């Protein structure tokens, strides 16, 4: 049995200690907004916030998640998140949409640390998130747009 603080609640799950957080979130807690894309830290589809920092949930075993606070796309709730999601909608960023939870979690993490990122900052922060549909041009645009919303 492991306890997990997630989206403001404490949940207990009965899984092996080596179970990646990703599968705990998806299969045990049925929070399916967080996606499985590669399982090897190469795509970012599984990105959640661990103590506020974007983290690949496929790489964090539940036994190593004791005491941390996890936020998934379902639990996003901040002015930065609102600005990011609004910008994403205004620019119609998603295509298939499968990578977008991870992209949004990563972008919220970036803007929380750096409210006015340059193109280079965006590249550095977002390069770990693959979008197979190639929505990168709009992701970049939407991050700038969200930054603009946060300025006001």
Partner 1 sequence: MLKSLLKEQQTSRRGFLLGASGTAAALVVGFRPSVAPLAAGDAEAVHNPFVKITPDNKVTVVAKHFETGQGTSTGLSTLVAEELDADWDQVLVEWAPADAKVYNNLHWGAFQGTGGSSAIANSFMQYRKAGAAARDILVRAAAGAWKLPASDIKVEKGRLIHDASGQSASFGEMVPHAAGLQAVEEPVLKDPAKFELIGKAIPRKDTPAKTTGQAVFAMDVRVPDMITAVIQRPPKFGAKVASFDAAEALKVRGVIDVKAVGSGVAIYARNTWAAIKGRDALSVEWDEAEAETRGSEEIFAEYEALAKQPGAIARQDGDVGTALAQASKKVSATFRFPYLAHTPMEPLNCVIRSEAQSAEVWTGSQFPTIEQGVTAAILGLKPEEVTIHTVYAGGSFGRRATPNADYVAEAAMVAKAIDGRAPVHLVWTREDDVKGGFYRPLNLHRVEAGIDGEGQPSAWHQRIVGQSILAGTPFEGFLIKDGIDATSVEGAQNLAYDVPNITVDLHSPKVGVPVLWWRAVGHTHTGYSTEVIVDMLAEAAGQDPVAYRLKQMKNHPRHAGVLKLAAEKANWGGDLPEGWARGVAVHESFNSYVAQVAEVAIEEGGGIKVKRIVCAVDCGLAVNPDVVVAQMESGIIYGLGTAIRNAITLDGGEVDQDNFPDYEPLRISETPEIEVHIVNSTEAPTGVGEPGTPPVAPAVANAIYAAMGKRIFTLPFSESGIEFA
Tokens of 55: 């983290």
Rounded CA gap, 100 and 87, in Å? 13
Question: What Rg, from alpha-carbon coordinates, does the chain have?
Answer: 15
Least distance between ligand FES and beta carbon 128 (Å): 7
- Strand 47-50 versus strand 9-13 pairing type: unpaired
Residue choice 70, 83, 131, 147 for contact with partner 1 (CB under 8 A):
131
Residue with smaller CB distance to ligand FES, 53 or 79: 53
Is 98 strand, coil or helix?
A: coil
38 binds ligand FES, rule: CB under 6 A? yes
Rounded CA gap, 103 and 70, in Å? 17
7 binds partner 1, rule: CB under 8 A? no
Least distance between partner 1 and beta carbon 18 (Å): 8
Residue with smaller CB distance to ligand FES, 97 or 115: 97
Tokens of 19: 């179970």
* Binding region for ligand FES (CB under 6 A): 36-39, 41-46, 56, 58, 94-100, 131-133, 135
């Amino acid at each position: 049995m492991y306890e997990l603080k997630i989206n403001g609640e404490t949940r207990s799950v009965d899984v092996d200690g080596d179970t990646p957080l990703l599968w705990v979130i998806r299969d045990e807690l049925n929070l399916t907004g967080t996606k499985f894309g590669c399982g090897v830290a190469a795509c970012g589809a599984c990105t959640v916030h661990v103590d506020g920092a974007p983290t690949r949930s496929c790489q964090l075993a539940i036994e190593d998640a004791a005491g941390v606070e996890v936020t998934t796309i379902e639990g996003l709730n901040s002015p930065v998140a609102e600005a990011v999601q609004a910008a994403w909608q205004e620019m119609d960023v998603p295509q298939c949409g499968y990578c977008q939870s991870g992209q949004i979690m990563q972008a919220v993490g970036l803007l929380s640390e750096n409210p006015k990122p340059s193109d280079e900052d965006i590249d550095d922060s977002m390069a770990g998130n693959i979008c197979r549909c190639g929505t990168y041009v709009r992701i970049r645009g939407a991050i700038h747009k969200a930054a603009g919303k946060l300025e006001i």
